[in-house]
Amino acid sequence: MTKGEPTVTAIPPRPGGHTEDEVLAIAAAAESDSEHPLAKAIVAAARRRGLTAPASSDFTSSPAVG
């Protein structure tokens, strides 16, 4: 069975000793203003973990550009 919506299932380790929570919080900050389903999945995963994403700026969206 599937739910029909993306979800974060794993967070690959990053060089430099960053924890999964740090990586997820940064990714959520980058995706927080996006309407893309994958971006929403990242933000939702951060919220489920109780993470606060750092503030982002200069976000632009280009729907249907690829």
Taking the model in full, what pTM does it have? 0.79
CA angle 61, 33, 17 (to 5 degrees): 110
Domains of the chain by residue range: 19-54
What does the pLDDT look like over 14-66, one tens digit per residue?
788 889 999 999 999 999 988 889 999 999 999 999 998 877 777 777 777 76
What does the pLDDT look like over 20-31, one tens digit per residue?
999 999 999 999
Which residues, other chains included, contact 29 with Cβ-Cβ below 8 Å and sequence gap of 6+?
Answer: 53, 54, 55, 56
